[in-house]
Amino acid sequence: MDCCNCDRKTVRDDEQKRKLINRLSRIEGQIRGLKSMIENNAYCNDVLNQTSAVSQAVNAFGKEVLSSHMHTCVAHDIREGRDEVIDELLQTIQKMMR
């Protein structure tokens, strides 16, 4: 389970870290694939389709981290009376929706 402390860090268990890092590694591979496509003069539509896949993967990663954050850090802060975390969360969600 995640735990946010006053140093603004989140401690994640090994399994959660592994899953998040694996997702990022897949995204990194997709980005390298895009670079290779450009280097090899791939058809524009193919590049755009791959770009869409990368964007969806990054969004899914963000949603996973957001969900974890809400269930752990935000819930913890609200229980501790730190309601300002709600404004911080709303700002973050607005950024994610751009």
* pLDDT per residue as tens digits for the range 7-38: 688 999 999 999 999 999 999 999 999 999 99
1 assigned to some structural domain? no
For 35-75, how does the pLDDT look when each residue is reduced to its tens digit (9 = 90+)? 999 999 999 999 999 999 999 999 999 999 999 999 999 99
6 assigned to some structural domain? no
Q: How many domains does the chain have?
A: 1
At CA 16, angle to CA 69 and CA 84, rounded to 5? 10
For residue 43, give the CATH number of its domain. Answer: 1.20.58.1000
H-run or E-run covering 11 = strand 10-11
- Please check the confidence at residue 2 and state whether its pLDDT lies above 80: no
CB under 8 Å to 66, separation ≥6 — which residues? Answer: 92, 93, 96
Distance CA 62, CA 15 (A): 17
The whole domain housing 20 covers: 12-96
